[in-house]
Chain A
Amino acid sequence: MKARIKFEKGGVLRYVGHLDMMRYFQKAIRRSGIPISYSQGFHPHQHMSFAMPLGVGVSSEGEYMDIDLEEEINPNKAVDDLNSHMADGVRVISFRYLTEEDGNAMSSVGAASYFLYLKGGEGLDGDLLMSYKNERFDGKDKMLITKKTKKSEREIDLKPFVYDFRLFELDEDYSKKMQSLIPDYETNDFRLNTGDMGIYLLLSAGSEENIRPDLFMKYLTGRKEDWEYLPFGIHRIDLLKKDKDGGFVSL
């Protein structure tokens, strides 16, 4: 029996990396007594897999992991049990059983949506973003950039992989929500107040073509080198998969 857990991550826990986060959840599941199934052998491990790693410093309200269970449990109770064993900064949002069509989280990810906020650095503000968008995005047929991975370096055209890109002003609700997820926003001068300019992105993700938001921003700002410190913060809104009609739905 497989189940999918959705959670959010913020606060100081933003600085906990992906591998540490996996170990964190393994322990949290043991603490909360969720009857997860284990592999055989002397060092049994839990049947658990994350949909996609989340980088250090990145917050999210749409993380997913799949687990295998030994026995069926009540989904609402599972959410409560898990949440009573979470550290401040991680909260389980939902727990649902998977059906035949669902597939596993990792292989079904097709896109990720992001909210990027400004960090006040490098003169990056709403006006500048607007002009970049004008110049380098609107009406462009091709958006060429060099994508570096550990193994290779190749030029790619971002155009077919950027499904949506919009600039918007934070309304009061969204501002409040982000401020509670990133309570240290003020001391860090993160632009999360009502009226601040934010970026919405829907990018191809997963095994087919994974486009990180900072790669898109590198293209947009025309920057050659990688940033030592990003002048914008990344918040993942959701992970999505393709539905039958070619649109995207939440995992």
Chain B
Amino acid sequence: MGGYYKGACSTMTGKLALSDKVLMRVEKSARYIGNEIGMIKKDPDDVLIRFAFCFPDVYEIGMSHLGIQILYEMFNRRDDLYCERVYSPWPDLHRIMKDEGIPLFALESQDPISDFDFLGITLQYEMCYTNVLQVLDLARIPFHATDRGEDDPIVCGGGPCTYNPEPIADFFDFFFIGEGETEYDHIFDLYGSMKRSGTYSRSAFLREVSHIPGVYVPSLYEVSYNEDGTVSDFVPKFSDVPATVVRQVEMDLDNSPYPEKPLVPYVQATQDRVVLEIMRGCIRGCRFCQAGMLYRPTRQRNVEVLKKYAISMLDATGQDEISLSSLSSSDYEALPELLDFLIDECTKRKVNISLPSLRIDAFSLDVMDKVADVKKSSITFAPEGGSQRMRDVINKGLTVSDILQGATEAFKGGWTKVKLYFMLGLPGEREEDMTAIPDLADEIAMCYYDTIPKDQRNGRVRVTISTSFFVPKPFTPFQWAPMEEATEYKRRAHIVKDRMHSEHNAKSISYQYHEPDVTLLEGVFARGDRRIAAVIEKAYEKGCFFDAWTEFFHKDLWDQSFEECGVDPDFYTMRERPIEEKFPWDFIDCGITRAFLEREWKRSKEEVVTPNCRMGCSGCGIRKYGGGVCFEGKNKV
């Protein structure tokens, strides 16, 4: 062959797992060709360990996820390992692969997943569980860990859903609980040394790996249930296997791996920009928010490190947008300095800056005025609860006067669009909390007409309300809370809607809400136990996958699956759980203590707010990690 394609690596010879005939028949075939700018090329023959990293959703979604890119970078720093990527084939390709017997492959080498040592699956939301089965199915790996042979890849999981991995525990050889930066090197070292010394067998490895902090090997534990269906006992089968799995946290973010040359997809990703993770964790302690509890303590990245990352990522990718990522960017202390730098640099480079999760105040409005067109952009508030009472219940420290003050400033600055995010179905919600939602929207609209004189108005103000239905999650103060029936969720949405129509400024307000069916299923998965696995398997057999996509969600098939498996979904969602109930996820130590969560659940019922970590420490238990916000300012010892 001519000198055009250099090198011996298979990716350069244009090897593709799918034939031209297949690629020409599917939508967006570039999802499956790999070869993106930033893709790491290695010769698979040169490494001992092959790791396929999977985000079980479509390429455009998976490629937008920062976590994978961090670990892709970190894993590939090892000479003895090649980490590749795999995503869920879209239903059109799925059909063809099933019909024609084409095995699932990784993008880099285009080799079948069954050739790999590990299949690592990130679990970012519960509604991807059937896609996990799709991936195993197409990869020809037995669904149940216990049915796998020596030649099957080790299937491991990570991500937020592992804080209750029980509904999918049967499908995984092990889970890693916590931040992957901390222990994966030890896992690979162990695997490598067992392989090299010839002591490797699947069961011997799983037994050994269970000793690594943060690793949970489901097959090494026995669960028993009480007559009422709750968990009675959860014990390791062997004395060397730890009874409690402790979440691992990266305490040195400034020196941990970061993708300074991130991948640049051809197909437009959902997040088509470079991402700067400025901080992990959140100081606020909203009681509904699992991320806010799980990722404690709040850890900030050094601003100089972030400046360096921003430059190298923009240089390496040529992206025209950069986005800050954190749970609450306004709480990042060096934000003014970072933004000054970015505005300067990005103006020079004609790069857009996107700033999600900023609290609306004079500072943020000033910044937004510099980076976006006020006429086109909107300001966003997420009060989550409509009434002050409800905001006290959920510990959302945002008052009506904060909102109105922010809105007034924004209107003066020229903004005319406001977005409001709320949740319905929060614990103890009353009708007055629901009607308070459109009332607040109306007050904001009123504020516009009061602030801006008629002759200076740029048309009507537009206030958009969005509501989602609340799903109680493990390791939050609301893990004991019941959910509502689908009909009740609908009724509540209609209360909001009817009230909105009667508001004085109804014409300036619009309202959207999500359908409740998916919410209830998510609720079952979030707090389910091992008995849910059979239902997921049944639903997949019936054709359910891509459940996170409304157009592919089939409620009837799920209903049938629960019934055929004899599992009552209401058991997991409709009960207020007694305070002493043993939860399926109790074997995980995520850092915050059960006592803190119980205290918070009680305080929420008393409508008492708890200060954020910077106002004062509430003793959640995270201090033992020895860093982050627990040792800043006032919290210093």
Contacts and interface: CB of A to CB of B under 8 A. Distances in A.
Interface of A: 11-13, 15-17, 19-21, 23-24, 26-32, 38, 41-44, 56-57, 85, 87-89, 91, 119, 176-177, 179-184, 187-188, 190, 228-230, 233
10 contacts: A15-B29, A27-B318, A27-B319, A27-B320, A41-B373, A42-B372, A183-B14, A183-B15, A184-B15, A230-B24
B267 interface: yes
Contacts of B34: 12
Contacts of A183: 1, 5, 13-15
A91 B4 contact: yes
Given A28-B318, A29-B318, A57 B4 contact: no
B244 interface: no
B317 A31 contact: yes
B266 to A, nearest CB: 5
A42 B35 contact: no
B504 interface: no
Given A12-B34, A27-B37, A188 B21 contact: yes
Given A12-B33, A16-B266, A41-B373, A88 B12 contact: yes
A41 B373 CA distance: 8
Contacts of B352: 42-43
Contacts of B264: 27
B19 interface: yes
Interface in B3-26: 4-5, 11-16, 19-21, 23-25
A182 B14 contact: yes
Given A42-B372, A87-B35, 13 more contacts: A11-B35, A15-B32, A19-B268, A20-B30, A24-B266, A30-B320, A85-B318, A88-B5, A88-B11, A88-B35, A177-B2, A182-B14, A184-B14
A179 B2 CA distance: 8
A227 to B, nearest CB: 10
Nearest to B9: A88
A119 B318 contact: no
B98 to A, nearest CB: 19
B624 interface: no
Contacts of A228: 25
B35 A12 contact: yes
B334 interface: no
B315 interface: yes
A43 B34 CA distance: 29
Contacts of A87: 35-37
Which of B1, B14, B267 is most buried by chain A, counting CB atoms within 10 A of its CB? B14
B2 A176 contact: yes
Nearest to A15: B29
Interface residues of B, number: 44
A168 to B, nearest CB: 20
Given A26-B320, A57-B24, A87-B36, A180 B5 contact: yes
Given A38-B350, A188-B21, A31 B14 contact: no
B20 A188 contact: yes
A176 B1 contact: yes
A20 B267 contact: yes
Contacts of A179: 1-2
A19 B5 CA distance: 25
Contacts of B30: 15-17, 20
A57 B23 contact: yes
A118 to B, nearest CB: 13
Contacts of B267: 20
A19 B272 CA distance: 14
Contacts of B317: 27, 31
A31 B316 contact: yes
Contacts of A43: 352, 373
A89 B264 CA distance: 15
A17 B33 CA distance: 12
A176 B4 CA distance: 11
A87 B264 CA distance: 10
A181 B113 CA distance: 28
Contacts of A23: 266, 268, 272
Nearest to B319: A27
Contacts of B314: 30
Interface in B23-59: 23-25, 28-30, 32-37
Nearest to B37: A87
A15 B318 CA distance: 21
A156 to B, nearest CB: 26
Contacts of B373: 41-43
A41 to B, nearest CB: 7
Contacts of B35: 11-13, 87-89
Contacts of B272: 23
Which of B264, B317, B352 is most buried by chain A, counting CB atoms within 10 A of its CB? B264
B16 A180 contact: no
A38 B36 CA distance: 25
B417 to A, nearest CB: 15
A58 B16 CA distance: 16
Contacts of B268: 19-20, 23
Which 6 residue pairs of A and B lie closest in terms of their CB atoms, listed nearest first? A27-B318, A183-B14, A30-B318, A31-B318, A180-B2, A15-B29
Contacts of A181: 4
A229 B29 CA distance: 14
A13 B5 CA distance: 13
A229 B317 CA distance: 35
Nearest to A39: B350
Contacts of B23: 15, 57
Contacts of B14: 11-12, 88-89, 182-184
Contact of B19 (A21, A88, A187, A233): A187
B372 to A, nearest CB: 6
A136 B266 CA distance: 41
Contacts of B319: 27, 30
Contacts of B24: 56-57, 229-230
Interface string B322-363: 000000000000000000000000000110100000000000
Given A20-B30, A229-B24, A11 B5 contact: yes
Contacts of B32: 15
Interface in B355-390: 371-373, 376
A88 B11 CA distance: 9
Contacts of A184: 14-16, 20
Given A27-B37, A27-B319, A30-B318, A20 B19 contact: no
Contact of A26 (B20, B25, B36, B318): B318
Nearest to A37: B350
A26 to B, nearest CB: 7
Contact of A188 (B19, B266, B371): B19
Contacts of A91: 4
Nearest to B377: A42
Which of B5, B33, B318, B352 is most buried by chain A, counting CB atoms within 10 A of its CB? B318
